[in-house]
Amino acid sequence: MKAYVYHGPDQKGAWEEVPNPTILEPTDVIARVDTTTICGTDLHILKGDCPEVDHGRILGHEAVGTITEVGSAVTDLKVGDRIIIPAVTSCGKCSYCKANQPSHCQTVGGVGWIFGYMIDGTQAEYVRVPYAETSVHLVPEGLSDEDVLFLTDALPTGFEIGILNGHTKPGDTVAVVGAGPVGLGAIMTANLCGAGRVITVDFDDNRMNKALELGATDKVNAGDPDFIEKIKALSPDGLGVDVAIEAVGVPQTFETCTKIVRPYGNIANAGVHGKPVELPLNTMWISNVSINMGLVNCNTVGNLLNMVRSGRLNAKAMATHRFTFDQFEEAYDLFSHAAEHNVVKVVISRNPEVAA
């Protein structure tokens, strides 16, 4: 088969021939990958930000596929089933999985995110899916691959780590700093929790306009000299936002969140940081601000899927560019320069007509 393979830091990956995956454990399934995408985390790996990733690793952790083979212990899934393959797998048996916290499943390196990181990932024609019965979701009849593709990572990350960790309540003023895929995922799901006002904050007007299309009520350009004051002025009493969601992963955007959150407000850090961030506890402690962060559990995929089925969540609206498998390298080149090309999420499909 062919797959997109990592060849070391600061080198381009390649779409090349590799061995087909095989069943290794009774709880595995093999899935034909029908549709997948690229995540910013994949770019971090290519840059060398994750030195623990082996050379020769197949990248990717988001996919929709069709089961082609099942392990001997798999009874609830069968060949031919269409499945959503989330970024996080769950053994269903360790203490973290039993507590519905599979992001720290203890079976493979103490982390639930293993695709394209600890094991070969989903940017391939076929993929081995461990712990399939406790990890994947069936695609309901009538939904396309694109309808459900972004339930694998971007939407649950924005929802779980942004909206839910931010303790968003009906009527809250929410600011999402960063209008990339995770930030947009937070914006799209903030309204499902009854947020009264949703502010998108970014330097890129195109991305903020996309955020307005997907549910933001206001935009503030982070390049404005007085952008902090503009954000706070959008709160009912001018004291700041109830929930500040960091969705970039750089010190400046985290600092922005500390400046715009109101007393007794919540900061939810969903961005992946590659450098230490200064935490001004000397000024924040007296404001009773709470800070949450973490790796997505993907334990809300079922909830989000119900919202897609009912028409309340248009998940496929995040897609801006589409490619076929033989255009993988072109897709990576484009996604690596997302701002220049107004890219939010790419869709890479075996059969684009079926995927849509």
**Residue boundaries of the structural domains of the chain:** 2-153+298-355, 155-293
Q: How does DSSP classify residue 235?
A: S
pLDDT at 353 over 80: no
pLDDT at 89 over 90: yes
pLDDT at 314 over 90: yes
C-alpha–C-alpha distance, residues 156 and 182, integer Å: 9
Task: With beta carbons less than 8 A apart as the criterion, state whether 271 and 253 touch.
Answer: yes
Percent of the chain past pLDDT 90, that is, above it, reads 92
Range in 123-127, 184-188, 207-211, 274-278 the model is least confident about: 274-278
The class (CATH top level) of 155-293 is: alpha beta
Cα separations (Å) of 102 from 95, 141, 259, 293, 317?
A: 9, 27, 32, 15, 27
pLDDT band at 331 (very low <50, low <70, confident <90, very high): very high
Residues 6+ apart with CB under 8 A from 51: 9
Mean pLDDT of 114-121: 97
Q: What is the CA radius of gyration of the chain?
A: 20
Residues 6+ apart with CB under 8 A from 67: 29, 30, 31, 32, 77, 78, 79, 80, 81, 83, 132
C-alpha–C-alpha distance, residues 234 and 217, integer Å: 10
Q: For 257-309, what is each residue's pLDDT tens digit?
A: 999 999 999 999 999 988 899 999 998 999 999 999 999 999 999 999 999 99
pLDDT at 352 over 80: no
Cβ–Cβ contacts within 10 Å for residue 302, how many?
11
Q: For 223-247, what is each residue's pLDDT tens digit?
A: 999 999 999 999 999 999 999 999 9
- The model carries a pTM of 0.95
Domain 2-153+298-355 carries which CATH code?
3.90.180.10
Cβ–Cβ contacts within 10 Å for residue 227, how many?
17
* Mean model confidence pLDDT for the chain: 96
pLDDT at 325 over 70: yes
Look at residues 53, 176, 166, 161 and name the one whose alpha carbon lies nearest to residue 103.
Answer: 161
pLDDT band at 355 (very low <50, low <70, confident <90, very high): low
